[in-house]
Chains A and B, each alone.
Chain A
């Protein structure tokens, strides 16, 4: 590695990094939320690509002009902000895709779902006097974990706990930009194909829109996916990540 060239590149990096307009949305504490928004948008895109109708709504039924993302867990019915969700409709049961909503688990304890899919009627039936949904309302839940270095084993352990609390949900997904073989083994051990009422699936976010749609469809139809013969994590491709992300636009 020629030292002089490296120093020149670092100097270029310094100049360019100082040129970026500061924006608190890109601070470390919010990057995980951007990742969740990114995954949410992929699910919506997959649904659209497979013929489902998408409409963005707020609980007051207004059509939003700004996408309001809930960055701290809370009850579905909020009087403070009109958080945006996607209403996914087809000839089958209509459902809604939400972000950051808390659900009561089997123990009665509240847990946040980064992304959740629930029947449309459950969204509509949720009011300030009846604010909390339970695991029984969940068709799909997704945990989104974005990391700059490694994905720690704790994430896998926590997910197993969450999946146990939500174990009547059809499908649970642990979604990360990093891979951890130990988490893979852990999840594989606890959730064997067809032996539990939850599936843990893998998607390469750059290529698996069909799989996303398939999962959505199964969640909506209260079915088990076929060929659940392995468990993987969702992650971005490590090679040419920028190209991959840019490629999705096409």
Chain B
């Protein structure tokens, strides 16, 4: 791929994120890229395409950290918290099926249920695999 190709892929990837409701990931990466640009430019001054690769790498990593990892952490939360109970308490009384986020002002309330985790695990795995494949492609010679 030449520079034009990388530019095109970056544009398509960013459009895909925006249309899927994840424009905040692009904003995060852009803010980081601007603040880190001196280091990136210094290391890649003679290789413009490397700067584009670096940007695409950051986009992929942030997409993983913004979508895949939070889901897996929530899944792991239930595993840890419930297996802790099994050995010490009556499972039927203390098995958590929901994690609710709330506060005394009752704003920003949301819930993650085990059912939600179960229903979305396959799709999250597919997204994770696509990101892995993108990373492999990016680093393939």
Chain A residues with CB under 8 Å of chain B are: 1-3, 5-7, 9-14, 16-31, 33-35, 37-38, 40-42, 44-45, 47-48, 53-56, 63-72, 74, 78, 80-81, 86, 146-150, 177, 236, 241-242, 245-246, 248-249
Assess whether B133 is interfacial by the CB under 8 Å rule.
Answer: yes
Q: How large is the interface on B (under 10, 10 to 19, 20 to 34, 35 or more residues)?
A: 35 or more
Which residues does B use to contact A, with CB under 8 Å? Answer: 1, 5-6, 8-9, 12-13, 16-17, 19-22, 24-25, 28-29, 31-32, 35-36, 58, 61-62, 64-77, 79-81, 83-85, 87-89, 93-94, 96-108, 110-112, 116, 119-120, 123-124, 126-128, 130-131, 133-134, 137-138, 140
Q: Which of B22, B32, B74, B89 has the most CB of A within 10 A?
A: B74
A148-B137 CB under 8 A given contacts A23-B110, A242-B128: no
Nearest residue (CB) in B for A27 is B110
Q: Which of B66, B71, B100 contacts A68 (CB 8 A)?
A: B100
Closest to A14 in B: B16
Taking the closest CB of chain B, its distance from the CB of A182, in whole angstroms, is 12
Q: Say whether chain B's binding surface is mostly helix, strand, loop, or mixed.
A: helix
- Within the assembled complex, what's the spacing in Å between the Cα atoms of A7 and B31? 25
Pair B99/A67 contact, Cβ less than 8 Å: yes
Other 8 A-B pairs with CB < 8 A, given A31-B66, A45-B83, A66-B96:
A3-B1, A16-B130, A17-B20, A31-B70, A38-B76, A65-B97, A81-B104, A242-B128
